[in-house]
Amino acid sequence: MAASRGAMVTVGQLACYDQAKQLVLGTGMMGDNILTHFVSSSIAGGCATFLCQPLDVLKTRLMSSKGEYTGVTHCLRETAKLGPLAFYKGLVPAGIRLIPHTVLTFIFLEQLKKNFGIRIIS
C-alpha cells in the first residue's frame, strides 16, 4: 500500500504540475516566474493529495488494524460500505502536509533550472 500511495503522489505531483503550469502560462496573465511556480505547485499538491488520499486511508486502516482485515480487498470493501467519503477522511490535514512540500519542491526545482542551467529531459 505504501508503494502504491507513493506512486500516486508522484504521478499527481509531476503530471498536475506540468499541466497546471501550462494552463497558468496559457492564460497570458502570468509569465514564467516564481508566482506561476507557486500557483502551479499548489494546484499539483492539491491534485496529489486528492489522488493519494484513498490509498492513504486504506494504508492507515491496514496498518492500525489488529487482524481485522484479511487483506487489501477486504479492507477496500469494508471501507466502501461506509460510503465514498470514507476514502477521503483526513483530506484537509493531508493537504496541509503535502501541499507545502510540493510547493517547495517545485519552486526549488524551477530556481535550480533557472540559476544553474539544469535541463530536465522529458
Instruction: Give φ, ψ of 3 to 5 degrees.
Output: -70, -40
pLDDT, tens only, 29-51? 988 899 999 999 999 999 999 99
pTM for this entry: 0.85
pLDDT, tens only, 9-35? 999 999 999 999 999 999 989 888 999
Helix axes 91-116, 34-64, angle to 10 degrees: 140
pLDDT of residue 122 exceeding 60: no
pLDDT of residue 121 exceeding 70: no
Tell me the three cell numbers of residue 2: 505504501
| Mean pLDDT value across residues 46-75 | 93
> What per-residue confidence (pLDDT) applies to 53?
95
